[in-house]
Amino acid sequence: MGEKGKVCVTGAGGYVASWLVKLLLSKGYTVHGTLRDPQNEKNAHLMKLEKASENLKLFKVDLLDYNSLSAAITGCNGVFHCIELHTVQIVIVKMHYAGLLLLVNPDCIQVQLIEPAVKGTINVLEACSEANVKRVVVVSSGKAVSENPDWPKGRVMDETCWSDKEHCRRTKYWYALSKTEAESAALEFAKTSRLDVVRVCPTFVLGPMLQSTTNASSLVLIKLLKEGNEEQENRLLKIIDVRDVAEALLLAYEKPEANGRYICTAHMIKLQDLVEILKRIYPNYNYPKKVTQGKEEENISSDKLQKLGWSYRPLEETLVDSVEGYKQAGLLDQNESVIPL
């Protein structure tokens, strides 16, 4: 067993989870990683991580199958629940970013997105309780915080703010609804059990990818670089680096005083300003020709997480590392040179 003990990471092949597994291995943990299909080529990057051959064990698990989940969690001191989206769920998230959610049947959303997210979370927590896990860190989302039209105007959103479920239903923001429902279920479970549950809510996650498949948030940045004829709304982006999210999750696990909920965000920036930064570094990409006025949005604060000892890297570092990674993966033109910052 690794010197720090044994922990489980659910959905280990995902964007955030992969970086968390990498960080845990580097810190001396033994890691149980759950995957729907450990043999799938898209998960091959995990066993290539440093120390993976000695300290990483992959389990074939469906989060809706309690017995398979329990086998992966038994014997672990801690668990990181990085909610793993099924194929249909991923399609729904991508449809949200593409503005196509009006085409999705709400009944399908309930069955394919929301119920599995809630049931999977409860299954994880029940297995953790049975296995006497000392702490569970649940990865929620900033979208479980920010979709609240009744929040006072001009007041920075903090951990007391929750997305309004009915508002999410009315606006068909199904991804935000699923994250809010799943985190609410985790909170209620923690209240009625003795399980130590800490929740972390990352906002818009960018940074280099370890996995071979493109995640939804990276697709937004790729689209910004490549689809210049498409009109974009000048919305407020709340950006956080994937590596800083991994550090936040580890901090939430290791710090005895960690409790409750933590917003994990770093940079508040309008899309137009983000485009200007990217143009300065990478002037030759096909940026949007027109950016329309976006709705007013409240800022969101990670003060509580920073008081725990967390910090984050500069935005430019995240952007450059993201774009360079996309280029290496063949997702962007390969002849684009970087202008030094």
Question: In DSSP terms, which residues pair with 198 in a beta bridge?
Answer: 137
DSSP codes of every residue in 120-163: HHHHHHHHHHHTT-SEEEEE--GGGTS--TTSPTTPPB-TT---
Q: State the pLDDT at residue 293.
A: 86
Q: State the pLDDT at residue 89.
A: 47
Q: State the pLDDT at residue 175.
A: 84
Q: State the pLDDT at residue 98.
A: 52
| Residue 270 three-state SS | strand
Residue 179 designated active-site? yes
Assigned CATH class of 6-206+240-265+297-312: alpha beta
Averaged pLDDT, 200-209: 96
pLDDT category at 95 given cuts 50, 70, 90 is low
How far apart, in whole angstroms, are the C-alpha atoms of residue 273 and residue 233? 12
pLDDT category at 167 given cuts 50, 70, 90 is very high
pLDDT digits (tens, 9 = 90+) for 24-55: 999 999 999 999 999 999 999 999 999 999 99
* Cα–Cα–Cα angle for 181, 184, 189, rounded to 5 degrees: 125
> Contact 233/291 with Cβ under 8 angstroms?
yes
Top mean-pLDDT range of 151-155, 227-231, 314-318: 314-318
SS3 helix, strand, coil % of the chain, rounded to 5?
Answer: 45, 15, 40
Instruction: Tell me: pLDDT of 60 over 50.
Output: yes
Instruction: Tell me: pLDDT of 88 over 80.
Output: no
Q: Between residues 232 and 191, which one has the greater pLDDT?
A: 191
> Contact 69/123 with Cβ under 8 angstroms?
yes
Averaged pLDDT, 79-95: 63
Instruction: Tell me: pLDDT of 341 over 50.
Output: no
235 secondary structure, DSSP code: P
Q: State the pLDDT at residue 105.
A: 62
Instruction: Tell me: pLDDT of 337 over 70.
Output: no
Averaged pLDDT, 154-174: 93
The answer for residues whose C-beta is within 8 angstroms of residue 91's C-beta and 6 or more apart is none
Q: State the pLDDT at residue 2.
A: 58
Instruction: Tell me: pLDDT of 129 over 80.
Output: yes
Instruction: Tell me: pLDDT of 125 over 70.
Output: yes
How far apart, in whole angstroms, are the C-alpha atoms of residue 205 and residue 240? 5
Q: Between residues 178 and 3, which one has the greater pLDDT?
A: 178
Q: Could you list the beta-strand ranges (E) of the chain.
A: 6-10, 30-35, 56-60, 78-82, 135-139, 197-202, 204-206, 232-234, 236-241, 261-264, 267-270, 291-293
Q: How many C-beta neighbours within 10 Å does residue 257 have? A: 7
Q: Between residues 46 and 298, which one has the greater pLDDT?
A: 46
Interhelix angle for 271-281 vs 315-328, to 10°? 60
pLDDT digits (tens, 9 = 90+) for 252-283: 999 999 999 999 999 999 999 999 999 999 99
Q: How many C-beta neighbours within 10 Å does residue 79 have? A: 29
- What does residue 6 show for φ and ψ, rounded to 5 degrees? -115, 135
Q: State the pLDDT at residue 216.
A: 81
Mean confidence (pLDDT) of the chain: 89
Q: What is the dihedral of CA 247, 274, 236, 289, to 10 degrees?
A: -150
Q: Which of 119, 179, 226, 289 is catalytic?
A: 179
Place of tokens 């000695």: 54
Q: What is the model's pTM?
A: 0.92
Q: State the pLDDT at residue 283.
A: 93
pLDDT category at 83 given cuts 50, 70, 90 is confident
Instruction: Tell me: pLDDT of 210 over 50.
Output: yes
pLDDT category at 69 given cuts 50, 70, 90 is very high
> Contact 209/15 with Cβ under 8 angstroms?
yes
- What does residue 302 show for φ and ψ, rounded to 5 degrees? -110, 25
Of 237, 243, 104, 248, the C-alpha closest to 177 is: 104
